[in-house]
């Protein structure tokens, strides 16, 4: 299935690549520069990573973390609930990229609606707080750290709570009902 899908994408996109003469990505390069993603020391991009890492390490570490989360989803994800893995990967991308525009997270909101893990809604709220409050405040990187840090902490705490509920449910007699009542996927590990 992967080979025909890849072939279709290449064949469908090939005319654009041939006709664009190097501008196939349009304004993407300009956008990356304009938003400060090319300079990790500028603005509030990668703000959570920059709390604990040197600025120059932020982007490479971001790539490693996103790759690790993606591999985890591919290895341990539930193929019957692909939106759950998509929420995990997309959510951590937003949390670590710390975008300044909250409307980017509309995809995340849709995935939350599909999956039901409401704690991820903190990420779009963090983006909204940065977008609305940062122009009036003079500590934008700190605001980004606080907003996205609180959102990431909520996600981690709820993951711990859900995992703990799943373990307790597995230890109790009749654990199938407990696991499904908590909304945790009772699928065994591979």
On whether residue 147 sits in a domain, the answer given is yes
- Is the pTM higher than 0.75? The answer reads no
Inform me whether the pLDDT recorded for 160 exceeds 80: yes
Does some domain include residue 109? yes
Q: Is residue 189 part of a domain?
A: no
Cα distance between the two ends of the chain: 23
Q: Give the separation between CA 70 and CA 12, rounded to whole angstroms.
A: 26
CA dist 144 → 1, 46, 94, 139 (Å):
41, 9, 12, 9
- Is 141 inside any structural domain? yes
At 180 the pLDDT is 43
The answer to whether residue 183 is domain-embedded is no
Is 72 among the domain residues?
Answer: yes
Q: Summarize pLDDT for 103-112 with one digit per residue, the tens.
A: 888 999 999 9
Would residue 182 count as lying in a domain?
Answer: no
User: How many distinct structural domains can be found in the chain?
Assistant: 1
Residue 99: is its pLDDT beyond 60? yes
Task: For residues 96-121, give the mean pLDDT.
Answer: 91
Name the pLDDT band for 178 (thresholds 50, 70, 90).
Answer: very low
- For residue 113, the enclosing domain spans 45-166
Token pair recorded at residue 53? 């890492």
């Amino acid at each position: 299935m992967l080979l025909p899908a890849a072939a279709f994408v290449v064949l469908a996109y090939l005319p654009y690549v041939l006709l664009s003469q190097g501008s196939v990505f349009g304004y993407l390069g300009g956008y990356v520069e304009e938003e400060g993603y090319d300079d990790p020391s500028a603005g509030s991009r990668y703000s959570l990573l920059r709390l604990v890492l040197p600025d120059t390490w932020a982007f490479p570490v971001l790539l490693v973390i996103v790759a690790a989360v993606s591999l985890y989803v591919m290895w341990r994800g539930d193929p019957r609930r692909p939106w759950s893995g998509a929420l995990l990967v997309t959510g951590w991308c937003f949390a670590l990229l710390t975008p300044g525009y909250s409307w980017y997270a509309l995809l995340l909101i849709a995935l939350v609606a599909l999956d039901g893990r409401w704690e991820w809604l903190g990420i779009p709220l963090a983006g909204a707080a940065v977008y609305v409050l940062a122009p009036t405040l003079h500590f934008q990187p700190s605001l980004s750290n606080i907003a996205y840090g609180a959102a990431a902490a909520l996600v981690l705490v709820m993951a711990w709570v859900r995992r703990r509920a799943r373990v307790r449910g597995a230890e109790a007699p009749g654990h199938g009902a407990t696991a499904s009542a908590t909304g945790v996927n009772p699928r065994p590990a591979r």
